[in-house]
């Protein structure tokens, strides 16, 4: 068994609200570990709209979504949170001493005194393209990411999409695969122009094939693909050999395994009280877009308020009996020491 | 006010009165039209407010801009009359506009 990672508060989701939870918990001396399915902090702000301006963060008449994430990272730096990226939480188990054991899809094991779910709209997962019957091939010959390039050696590979993932893997897997066909619904690409130029150059040299159109059907048996039909291109419907497929259609958000944690749910949201922002299971809190209570607004600023109150309740669980002195960062030397702004 | 009609995937029509300057997506959300998700809230960042513009209206509504075309790559079952409804602004000339909601949003 892998080593157990112990922390005070395990935060599921490193979006803006999860990040600010580190600050509020940190002021009350709680150590935090964040888990996120993305490869960097910021959640939707970083993944969906990093360059979009946000106008309703108090004190910031205008800040870009990525700018806000960067500022939050700077703000929580004194509390030295730990991050685990590219992981989805899977199971949760309550232990005898009242703490929680949480595992990830890569079998890491965490033990935390409280769990804070700040998972927004859910975890980002690859979008399934509209191809009839594709489910039967998923995980066997249709993959949504490349974990090991060797899995594609000697295969007739069809890559679908027009972004950087599609183009990068087209270029990287071309030397490994037996054949590569790139399919995109239009001749314009979102990917870096340099990759697109390289792809066209390789097409000129007949090292790969690029076809405009959409994959409309698959043939194969027992999860093993044999061919793919491409429609909408200049040559009409054509069938290409295909024993491996990599569709890259972006990401969508799903609640995922959290739904199996035994918490009460309300339309895929986690109902909480508005004093502690605690779920139906004591010690498991939900903050930000993923929670629900009467009057809930899915605003970043509401999430910030929620984590401040949640931290008070979490402190009472982690340090029972300890008196919590309410303090301001403007005047409290002890808080300022934690923030590293005074000696 | 400008009249818009959304036709849900099951064929149910939703007639709504829309204010000029608002987006077609906002009116779908305000009137709880099923099948329009608008996950990103209108930032042209998610392709979950995808609609098919009625053939009679495609010229008046116009073509998507480059950024919207990029996002449409992520939409489900894209057709030549596909648009993201957060990028269509309501105006007098669109009075009577009909859009159809696809089977699903991604």
Least confident of A204-213, B45-54, B91-100: B45-54
Q: What is the spatial distance between Cα A300 and Cα A306, in angstroms, rounded to a whole number?
A: 10
pTM of the predicted structure, to 2 decimals: 0.77
pLDDT at A1: 54
CB contact under 8 A, B73 and A252: no
Instruction: Give the three-state DSSP class for A274.
Output: coil
DSSP B29: H
Q: Give the one of A49, A190, A214 whose C-beta lies nearest to B45's C-beta.
A: A49
Q: What is the spatial distance between Cα A201 and Cα A195, in angstroms, rounded to a whole number?
A: 10
CB contact under 8 A, B43 and A162: no
User: CB pairs below 8 Å between A and B: how many?
Assistant: 41
Helices A16-27, A300-318: crossing angle, 10 deg rounding: 40
- List, in order, residues 6 or more apart from A147 with CB less than 8 Å away: none
Q: What is the dihedral of CA A104, A108, A111, A115, to 10 degrees?
A: -20
Instruction: Please give the C-alpha separations between residue A9 and each of A101, A110, A137, A180, A184, in angstroms, as whole numbers.
Output: 11, 10, 39, 46, 44
CB contact under 8 A, A253 and B70: no
Q: What is the spatial distance between Cα A226 and Cα A221, in angstroms, rounded to a whole number?
A: 8
CB contact under 8 A, A249 and B69: no
Show the low-confidence residues of chain A (pLDDT under 70). 1-2
Chain B residue numbers with beta carbons less than 8 Å from the beta carbon of A186 are: 69, 73
For residue B106, pLDDT over 80 is answered with: no
By the CB < 8 Å criterion, does B76 face chain A? yes
Q: What is the spatial distance between Cα A275 and Cα B12, in angstroms, rounded to a whole number?
A: 42
DSSP A6: E
Q: B41 or A132, which is more confident?
A: A132
CB contact under 8 A, A48 and B73: no
* Long-range contacts at A142-145 (CB < 8 A, ≥ 24 apart): A142/A225, A142/A244, A142/A245, A142/A246, A142/A247, A143/A244, A143/A245, A143/A246, A144/A246, A144/A247, A144/A248
Chain B residue numbers with beta carbons less than 8 Å from the beta carbon of A190 are: 70, 73
* Of residues A11, A27, A23, the one with CA closest to residue A328: A27
Tokens (6 digits) for A263:
């918490």
CB contact under 8 A, B78 and A52: no
Q: What is the spatial distance between Cα A225 and Cα A18, in angstroms, rounded to a whole number?
A: 41
Strand partners, A73: none
Q: What is the spatial distance between Cα B70 and Cα B47, in angstroms, rounded to a whole number?
A: 9
Strand partners, A89: A104
Chain A residue numbers with beta carbons less than 8 Å from the beta carbon of B46 are: 48
Instruction: Please give the C-alpha separations between residue A212 and each of A189, A234, B11, B41, in angstroms, as whole numbers.
Output: 11, 8, 31, 31
By the CB < 8 Å criterion, does B106 face chain A? yes
What are the residue ranges spanned by the domains of chain B?
2-100
What are A159-185's pLDDT values in tens digits?
999 999 999 999 999 999 999 999 999
Question: Does B2-100 carry CATH code 3.10.20.30?
Answer: yes
Chain A residue numbers with beta carbons less than 8 Å from the beta carbon of B45 are: 48-49, 52
By the CB < 8 Å criterion, does B74 face chain A? yes
Q: Give the one of A121, A185, A252 whose C-beta lies nearest to B73's C-beta.
A: A185
The shortest C-alpha distance from A295 to chain B (Å) reads: 17
CB contact under 8 A, A161 and B78: no
ipTM for the complex shown: 0.77
- List, in order, residues 6 or more apart from A201 with CB less than 8 Å away: none
Q: What is the spatial distance between Cα A9 and Cα A82, in angstroms, rounded to a whole number?
A: 11
CB contact under 8 A, B76 and A130: yes
By the CB < 8 Å criterion, does B29 face chain A? no
Q: What is the spatial distance between Cα A92 and Cα A71, in angstroms, rounded to a whole number?
A: 31
By the CB < 8 Å criterion, does B78 face chain A? yes
In order of their start, the domains of chain A are 4-124+252-338 (3.50.50.60), 129-248 (3.50.50.60)
The shortest C-alpha distance from B89 to chain A (Å) reads: 19
DSSP E strand boundaries for chain B: 2-7, 13-18, 50-53, 82-84, 97-100
pLDDT at A57: 97
pLDDT at A286: 98
Chain B residue numbers with beta carbons less than 8 Å from the beta carbon of A42 are: none
CB contact under 8 A, B45 and A52: yes
Nearest chain B Cα to A191, which residue? B70
């Amino acid at each position: 068994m892998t080593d157990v990672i112990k922390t005070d508060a395990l935060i599921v989701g490193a979006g803006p609200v999860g990040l600010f939870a580190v600050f509020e918990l940190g002021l009350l001396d709680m150590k935090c570990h964040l888990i996120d399915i993305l490869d960097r902090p910021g959640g939707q702000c970083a993944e969906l709209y990093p360059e979009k301006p946000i106008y309703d963060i108090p004190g910031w008449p205008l800040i870009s979504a990525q700018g806000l994430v960067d500022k939050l990272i700077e703000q929580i730096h004194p509390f030295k949170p730990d991050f685990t990226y590219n992981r989805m939480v899977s199971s949760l188990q309550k232990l005898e001493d009242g703490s929680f054991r949480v595992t990830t899809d890569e079998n890491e094991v965490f033990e935390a005194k409280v769990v804070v779910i700040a998972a927004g709209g859910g975890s980002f997962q690859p979008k399934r393209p509209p191809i009839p019957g594709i489910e039967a091939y998923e995980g066997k010959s249709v993959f949504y990411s490349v974990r090991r390039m060797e899995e594609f050696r000697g295969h007739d590979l069809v890559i679908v999409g027009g972004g950087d993932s599609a183009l990068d893997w087209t270029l990287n897997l071309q030397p490994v695969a037996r054949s590569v066909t790139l399919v995109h619904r239009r001749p314009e690409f979102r990917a870096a122009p340099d990759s697109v130029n390289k792809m066209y150059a390789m097409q000129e040299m007949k090292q790969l094939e690029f076809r405009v159109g959409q994959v409309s059907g698959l043939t194969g048996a027992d999860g093993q693909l044999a061919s793919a039909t491409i429609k909408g291109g200049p040559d009409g419907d054509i069938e290409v050999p295909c024993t491996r497929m990599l569709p890259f259609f972006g990401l969508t958000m799903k609640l995922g395994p959290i739904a199996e944690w035994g918490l009460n749910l309300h339309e895929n949201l986690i109902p909480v009280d508005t004093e502690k922002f605690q779920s139906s299971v004591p010690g498991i809190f939900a903050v930000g877009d993923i929670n629900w209570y009467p009057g809930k607004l899915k605003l970043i600023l509401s999430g910030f308020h929620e984590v401040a109150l949640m931290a008070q309740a979490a402190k009472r669980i982690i340090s029972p009996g300890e008196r919590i002195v309410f303090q301001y960062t403007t005047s409290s030397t002890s808080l300022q020491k934690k923030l590293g702004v005074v000696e | 006010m400008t009249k818009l009609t959304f036709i849900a995937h099951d064929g149910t029509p939703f007639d709504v009165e829309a204010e000029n300057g608002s987006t077609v997506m906002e009116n779908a959300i305000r009137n709880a039209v099923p099948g329009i998700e608008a996950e990103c809230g209108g930032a042209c960042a998610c392709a979950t407010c995808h609609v098919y513009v009625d053939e009679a209206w495609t010229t008046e509504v116009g073509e998507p801009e480059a950024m919207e075309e990029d996002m449409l790559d992520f939409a489900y079952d894209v057709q030549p009359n596909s648009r993201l409804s957060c990028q269509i602004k309501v105006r007098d000339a669109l009075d009577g506009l009909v859009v159809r909601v696809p089977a699903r949003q991604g």
